[in-house]
Amino acid sequence: MKGTETLKVAFATTAHSGLQDVMSTVFGRSNTFTIIDLEGEAVKELKVLENPAISYKHGAGPIVVKMLVDHGVRVVVGPECGLGASSLLEQHRVAHVIVEPGIGVGEALRKTLIETKK
């Protein structure tokens, strides 16, 4: 990532605790998505979105991907996701950084910054 370029990153999270939240064990049915706008390595803005598909029996992943793409997300951080969600992320050129469930969002953010520099 270069200079002052802004990058919107979505973290599959468990609650509304921002950088103090923890990563979800699931992608499509995570409780929330913490959206962070990064300018270089600095957090420019942070917001938390409720997952609109959390109660769906089928197809939650693609609905979540559409929501994130509509919000301008370019990188998704979380556990592995299903085939449908993975395909849609790839189709929309959204990168997927896989992190261990249960780690803090701050730690996941540090890992994401390393991955996006590659």
pLDDT tens per residue across all 118 residues of the chain: 445 689 999 999 999 999 999 999 999 999 999 999 999 889 999 999 999 999 999 999 999 999 999 999 999 999 999 999 999 999 999 999 999 999 999 999 999 999 888 7
Q: How many angstroms separate the CA atoms of 72 and 33, rounded? A: 13
Q: Which helix (H) or strand (E) holds 68?
A: helix 60-70
DSSP 79-114: S---HHHHHHHHHTT-EEEE--TTSBHHHHHHHHHH
pTM: 0.93
Q: How many residues does the chain have?
A: 118
Q: So where are the chain's domains? A: 6-117
The superfamily (CATH) of domain 6-117 is Dinitrogenase iron-molybdenum cofactor biosynthesis domain (3.30.420.130)
Backbone angles phi, psi at 80, to 5 degrees: -60, 150
